[in-house]
Amino acid sequence: MASMGSPARSEPTSGSSLSTSPNTALKEIARMWKKDPSGDLDRKQLTPDARPRIPTVPVRGSTAIPIALSQALRSGLLALAVGLGAISSPACGGKQTAKAWRRIEIEAPSTPLDTAAWEVALGCDVTAADTGLHLRWHLKPDVWNALPGGVFSTDRPLPAQLSGVPQTRLELRSEKHTFSRVVGAKEKPQPGNFHSEGKKLYIRLHDEGAEIPPLTFSAFLPRGRREGPGWRVSNGSVSGPAVPVLPGERWSVAMNLPPGMALRFFATASGQGEADKATVTFRVALNGETIWEQERVAGLHADAWHTVPLDSVLRTQLSTIELSVDGDPAWTAFVAPALGPGAPTPSQRPSIVLFLADTFRADNLAAYGGDPELTPYLNRLAEEAVLFERAWAPSCWTLPSQGSMFTGALPPQHGALEQGYVLPHSLHTFVEVLARNGYRTGGVTDSGFVSARYNFDQGFEWYLEHKGAHNWSLETTLLRALEFLRANDGRPAFLYVQTYRTHSPYRVGPQESQAEALEFLQVLAAQAPQGDVEAAIHSREAIQGLKRFYLDGVSDLDTKLARWWPQVREVAGFSPGYLVFTSDHGEAFYEHQNRGHRGSMWEELLRVPLFILGEDLTARRQTQAASLVDLSRTLVSLAGIPPLPQWQGEDLLALDGDRPVHGFYRTKKRYEWVAIEGARKLFGDPQQSGRAPLGAFDLGADPGEKTDLAHELAWPLEMAHRFSPEIQLLMREAPPGMRLAEDALTDDVLEMLRSIGYAGD
């Protein structure tokens, strides 16, 4: 076997996972998946009464666990219905009480879009459809500038406030040809292609010497997707159930309103703020009278939560609520609109905050052997919490790791192992279960793979993304998270906070400046002996310098959490509440000839911090193996909700004995599996799990994984043979992954992924 630190094993790529004992996939579920990969099966199959039996198998070293993948059980199992009526709403009628919250769901506008006003403002043809808008610009030959190599460019007519909407389809055609769109082009387009970069369009004609003809540039802007009688929307920054009111439209709903009610929502208008000069006015009317309005510029910075009391006018028993927007063309919506009591009674069920510090090594905390002075506040919280001393991530990078955390499935089961795959809608996330059981569900992330584009918004009624390293600010993230909690409506809250504060590009100080790390690398490159830049940026001096910048981010995260968490605990209605702190993977600094977190599944990448803090929890340290896959069961159990039987893992607060954990890491060139049982760690190929292991280490005697025992002792081969039947069946029955939609990878998305070290490999 090659050395575990060999170049072949530190290949930069994406994806590995670690979890509790892999279950053998239920053949019937796999059959259903193959029959209907979308997961949209006959609802008669999915009712609670028709729930299929879920077989279990006793796995060595663990309790019996379910072996169904739940790839096709989309609707019925989620109807666990503790307070289900609090968030489902009829369009009209029905007796209500001031204690029951109801989501506003409207199918279509009552006053259609004034397309003439949009045409004047945008200088194009506008056609409104039920599902979105068709925009068409007729580009004359004289608007194009000739560039070398037969390429032409012009200003892109689609304005900034409309350009970031996901799933927007762009087309460019002449009378004779339709040009193929290329995403992420870094070189001049091939003949017959076009691409959009920044605010420019580039085209290369089929015949290089020909004159450019009149062209039609088209864009289709989707409203969102149907979800029951309403809509689920995403504008690239904000996602959730919404009423997608565009400027010039009116949407209305009639219903009985008891006294003391209020309307709460998050108003969003996509755009670049004052830079694009788009101004809109949101309005709420009750029985024909405007009771609230706000004029604002488009842009995420101006998006906000609002509470509108509904007792300001005399009402008949049946009232009509009208939502409208006026102003410049922009993508606008009322997100998470819900009716409920104006003065809510605090919930008796606990609120839960899951804080995930992306790329945060376990040994940043003193409890895992770190410097006690680095994170004093987190160290104090850890001492007051239930801390899991032996916790592993389900992957050595973000997508498969957090995918397993949300779905309670191993990476081969959810299929999001490489960056071209997404979480399937057919899998239940624990967030969906919380939402169906009466929880407000909110998320604030730094986007990337943890985005609606990759279906991580499933179950969230409000999901906010800060896209690109230039938009990252932990201070802003924490403020937005606090705003969600303060928009309390009486329901218990689940809040997910994900930050790239310690992810590359490393940033220094409270302002998160990238300049210092960039200048450091530039100086090293300029001073490289014989001009060997590659050697200079991988030198010991470079790695030590980069780790200093990384640790500066760790310290800043600790400082800002020390201000934020006490504010959370003071939010009305939050107590009783829990904080779960963890990471999705670590970061390597050449412990095994690799920097970052895209390589083999070494401990510096897989070990993560994990603790749960709550008023009713006794501080203690648990030594049993824990995995992020366990969090689905653990978090719903904290909420007093039964876990779904198909979820992997265990309730971490009810562990009885130790059990093995497993991981999977796939690239285009190889597939890696690890098993950790007690202090023994095994590396192998899951597609050839019965063969000799690729590596083996005794983590008790050799925590740095320096001495490979694969061919030195008997236990590695015995361990590989023992797990082989389960791994083989798991791999054989794993469903196909769901591919990322082609139109989801826009140029700005690719640039954002490149800024954090992904895309293009």
3-state secondary structure 189-242: CCCCEEEEECCEEEEECCCCCCCCCCEEEEEEEECCEEECCEEEEECCCEEEEE
The DSSP annotation for 120-155 comes to HHHTSEEEEETTEEEEEEEE-GGG-EEEGGGEEEEE
- Secondary structure class of 614 (helix, strand, coil): strand
Task: Answer left, alpha or beta for residue 438, where phi above 0 means left and psi between -120 and 50 means alpha.
Answer: left
Q: Find the mean pLDDT for residues 220-248.
A: 94
Q: Among 74-83, 200-209, 622-631, 676-685, where is mean pLDDT lowest? A: 74-83
Which residues are bridge partners to 283 per DSSP? 293, 324
Q: What is the pLDDT of residue 753?
A: 63
- Secondary structure class of 716 (helix, strand, coil): helix
248: which 2 tokens? 């010039």
User: Could you give the CA distance from residue 362 to residue 147 in angstroms, rounded to a whole number?
Assistant: 52
Contacts of 340 (CB under 8 A, 6+ apart): 98, 100, 101, 102, 261, 262, 264, 489, 490
Mean pLDDT value across the chain:
83
CB 269 within 8 A of CB 364: no
Residue 738's φ and ψ, nearest 5 degrees, are -95, 120
CB 236 within 8 A of CB 270: yes
The more confident residue out of 573 and 363 is 363
Q: What share of the chain is helix, strand, coil (3-state, %, to 5)?
A: 25, 30, 45
Q: Among 523-527, 575-579, 741-745, where is mean pLDDT lowest? A: 741-745
Q: What is the pLDDT of residue 750?
A: 60
- 12 pLDDT band (50/70/90 cuts)? very low
Q: Find the mean pLDDT for residues 177-185.
A: 82
Q: What is the pLDDT of residue 467?
A: 83
Q: What is the pLDDT of residue 90?
A: 31
pLDDT at 648 over 50: yes
Residue 608's φ and ψ, nearest 5 degrees, are -135, 155
Q: What is the pLDDT of residue 257?
A: 87
User: How many CA atoms, within 13 angstroms, populate the side-chain half-sphere of residue 249?
Assistant: 27
The DSSP annotation for 505-561 comes to SP-BTTTTBSHHHHHHHHHHHHT-GGG-HHHHHTSHHHHHHHHHHHHHHHHHHHHHH
- 56 pLDDT band (50/70/90 cuts)? very low
Tell me which fold the domain 7-81+347-755 belongs to: Alkaline Phosphatase, subunit A (3.40.720)
- 573 pLDDT band (50/70/90 cuts)? confident
Q: What is the pLDDT of residue 208?
A: 78
Q: What is the pLDDT of residue 86?
A: 30
485: which 2 tokens? 């909690």
pLDDT in tens, 90-125: 333 333 334 578 999 999 999 999 999 999 999 999
State the CB neighbour count (10 A cutoff) for residue 301. 13
pLDDT at 18 over 50: no
pLDDT at 384 over 90: yes
**Residue length, the chain?**
761
Q: How far is CA 310 from CA 24, 264, 484, in A?
A: 54, 10, 21
Element of type H or E holding 462 = strand 462-465
Q: What is the pLDDT of residue 596?
A: 84
- 742 pLDDT band (50/70/90 cuts)? low
725: which 2 tokens? 């039947």
367: which 2 tokens? 């409890």
CB 497 within 8 A of CB 477: yes
CB 459 within 8 A of CB 109: no
The more confident residue out of 723 and 737 is 723
Contacts of 397 (CB under 8 A, 6+ apart): 14, 15, 16, 584, 585, 597, 598
Class of domain 102-114+223-341: mainly beta
pLDDT at 89 over 70: no
Q: What is the pLDDT of residue 167?
A: 74
CB 273 within 8 A of CB 303: no
Q: What is the pLDDT of residue 595?
A: 85
Beta-strand runs (E) in 329-438: 331-341, 351-357, 386-392, 421-422
pLDDT at 394 over 70: yes
Q: What is the pLDDT of residue 63?
A: 30
pLDDT at 249 over 50: yes
Which residues are bridge partners to 194 per DSSP? 181, 203
The more confident residue out of 233 and 522 is 233
Q: Among 180-184, 211-215, 388-392, where is mean pLDDT lowest? A: 180-184
**Domain limits of the chain?**
7-81+347-755, 102-114+223-341, 132-222
Q: Find the mean pLDDT for residues 655-673.
A: 92
Residue of 258, 308, 260 whose CA lies nearest to 286:
308
Q: What is the pLDDT of residue 746?
A: 61
Q: What is the pLDDT of residue 20?
A: 39
Q: Find the mean pLDDT for residues 487-516.
A: 94
Q: What is the pLDDT of residue 184?
A: 64
Helix and strand element counts for the chain (H, E): 15, 39
Q: Find the mean pLDDT for residues 656-674.
A: 92
Q: Longest Cα pair distance anywhere in the chain, in angstroms?
A: 84
Q: How far is CA 25 from its chain centroid? A: 25
CB 478 within 8 A of CB 485: no
Q: What is the pLDDT of residue 482?
A: 98
Q: Find the mean pLDDT for residues 650-668.
A: 94
Select the highest-mean-pLDDT range: 93-97, 165-169, 494-498. Answer: 494-498
Contacts of 124 (CB under 8 A, 6+ apart): 135, 136, 137, 138, 157
User: How many CA atoms, within 13 angstroms, populate the side-chain half-sphere of residue 101?
Assistant: 27
User: Could you give the CA distance from residue 699 to residue 604 in angstroms, rounded to a whole number?
Assistant: 12
- 185 pLDDT band (50/70/90 cuts)? low
For residue 325, the one-letter residue type is: V
pLDDT at 612 over 50: yes
- 165 pLDDT band (50/70/90 cuts)? confident
Select the highest-mean-pLDDT range: 199-208, 367-376, 445-454. Answer: 367-376
State the CB neighbour count (10 A cutoff) for residue 483. 17
Q: Find the mean pLDDT for residues 576-601.
A: 91
Q: Find the mean pLDDT for residues 480-502.
A: 96
Q: What is the pLDDT of residue 751?
A: 61
372 burial via Cβ count (<10 Å: 0-12, 13-18, 19+): exposed
User: Could you give the CA distance from residue 15 to residue 355 in angstroms, rounded to a whole number?
Assistant: 22
Q: Among 135-144, 309-318, 720-729, where is mean pLDDT lowest? A: 309-318
pLDDT at 483 over 90: yes
pLDDT at 365 over 90: yes
User: Could you give the CA distance from residue 17 to residue 31 in angstroms, rounded to a whole number?
Assistant: 25
* DSSP code of residue 619: P
Residue of 380, 385, 375 whose CA lies nearest to 557:
375
pLDDT at 755 over 80: no
Q: Find the mean pLDDT for residues 686-695.
A: 84
The more confident residue out of 81 and 742 is 742
Q: How far is CA 756 from its chain centroid? A: 15
The more confident residue out of 166 and 26 is 166
Q: Find the mean pLDDT for residues 690-701.
A: 91
State the CB neighbour count (10 A cutoff) for residue 190. 11
The more confident residue out of 341 and 282 is 282
